[in-house]
Amino acid sequence: MISKKNRLNFVFLFIAFVFIISCFSFVFIRNDRFNRKDRILNLSTLAEFPEKQSEISVLIEERGGESGNWATALSLEAFEKTGCPILMGNTFDVTIENKTPYEITDWNIAFTMDKLCYIESAWCGKVDVIQQRNGKTLAQNFNLRTYNSKMVKIDYVETNGQILFPLEKGDVFVYYPSLEEKEVPLMGTAPNKPKSFAKLGFILYGKDIVSADDLLHGELTFKCRKRINQDPAFLILVYISVIWAFSLVFLLLSEGRINEIEQIELRDKKMIQEVMETFSGFVDAKDPYTGGHSIRVGKYSKQLAEEMGLDKKQCQQVFYCGLLHDCGKISIHDDILSKPKRLTDDEFSIIKSHTIRGFEILSGLTAIPEACMVARYHHERYDGKGYPDGLAGNAIPLYARITCLADAFDAMNSNRCYRNHMGPDMIIKQISDNAGRQFDPDVADAMLRLLLRGEIVFPE
Ligand SMILES: [Fe+2]
CB 179 within 8 A of CB 186: no
Q: Which residue has the higher pLDDT, 434 or 50?
A: 434
Global pTM exceeds 0.85: no
Residue-wise burial string across 262-280, b where 16 or more C-beta atoms lie within 10 A, e elsewhere? eeeeeeeeeeeeeebeeeb
204 Cα to the center of ligand 1, angstroms? 121
Kindly give the residue spans of alpha helices, DSSP state H, lying in 343-423.
345-352, 354-362, 370-377, 398-413
- Residues 145 and 127: their CA atoms lie apart, in Å, by 10
- Is the pLDDT at 194 greater than 70? The verdict is no
**Residue 396: DSSP 8-state:** S
Q: Best-predicted range by mean pLDDT among 6-20, 76-90, 99-113?
A: 6-20
Kindly give the distance from the C-alpha atom of residue 424 to the centroid of ligand 1, in angstroms, as a whole number: 22
What residues does the ion ligand 1 have nearby, CB within 5 Å? 326
pLDDT higher at 47 or 36:
36
Any idea which of 39-53, 140-154, 201-215 has the lowest mean pLDDT? Answer: 39-53
Rg (CA), the chain: 52
Range picked from 105-109, 142-146, 152-156, 298-302 for highest mean pLDDT? 298-302
The model's pLDDT over 232-255, given as tens digits with 9 standing for 90+, comes to: 999 999 999 999 999 999 999 998
- Say how many Å lie between the CA of residue 378 and the centre of ligand 1: 7
- Say whether 383 sits in a helix, a strand or coil: coil
**Mean local confidence (pLDDT), 189-202:** 74
Question: Would you place residue 434 in the very low, low, confident or very high pLDDT band (cuts 50, 70, 90)?
Answer: very high
Query: What does the mean pLDDT of the chain come to?
Result: 87
Local structure of residue 168 (DSSP, 8 states) = -
Find the length of the chain.
460
pLDDT band at residue 388 under the 50/70/90 scheme: very high
Q: Are strands 70-73 and 126-133 parallel, antiparallel or unpaired?
A: unpaired
C-beta separation of 400 from 374 below 8 A: yes
SS3 content of the chain, % helix, strand, coil (to 5): 50, 20, 30
What confidence tens digit (pLDDT) does each residue in 307-334 have? 999 999 999 999 999 999 999 988 888 8
Chain centroid, CA 460 distance in Å: 59
- For residue 341, the model assigns a pLDDT of 79
Question: What three-state secondary structure class fits 370?
Answer: helix
How many A from CA of 308 to the centre of ligand 1? 22
Question: For residue 90, what pLDDT band results from cuts at 50, 70 and 90?
Answer: very high
- What confidence score (pLDDT) does residue 185 get? 59
CA of 451 to the centre of ligand 1 (A): 22
What's the CA gap between 442 and 429, in Å, rounded?
Answer: 16
CA of 358 to the centre of ligand 1 (A): 9
The SS3 assignment for 53 reads: helix
**Fold that domain 286-452 belongs to in CATH:** Hypothetical protein af1432 (1.10.3210)
Question: Residue 339 Cα, ligand 1 centroid: separation in angstroms?
Answer: 16
pLDDT confidence tier of residue 180, bands split at 50, 70 and 90: low
Q: Which H or E run includes 281?
A: helix 232-285
Ligand 1 center to residue 359 CA distance, Å?
11
Instruction: Determine the average pLDDT of the residues in 351-379.
Output: 93
Task: In whole angstroms, give the CA distance from residue 39 to residue 347.
Answer: 109
Residue 53, pLDDT above cutoff 70: no
Q: Map out the domains of the chain as residue ranges.
A: 40-225, 286-452
pLDDT at residue number 4: 76
Please give the distance, rounded to the nearest whole angstrom, from the Cα atom of residue 381 to the centre of ligand 1. Answer: 12
Contacts of 401 (CB under 8 A, 6+ apart): 382, 439, 440, 443
Task: Give the percent of the chain with pLDDT over 70.
Answer: 92
Please state which CATH class domain 40-225 belongs to.
mainly beta
Ligand 1 centroid, distance to 345 Cα (angstroms): 17
User: Which residues 6+ apart lie within 8 Å of 331 measured at CB?
Assistant: 354, 357
Ligand 1: distance of its center to the CA of 311 in Å? 25
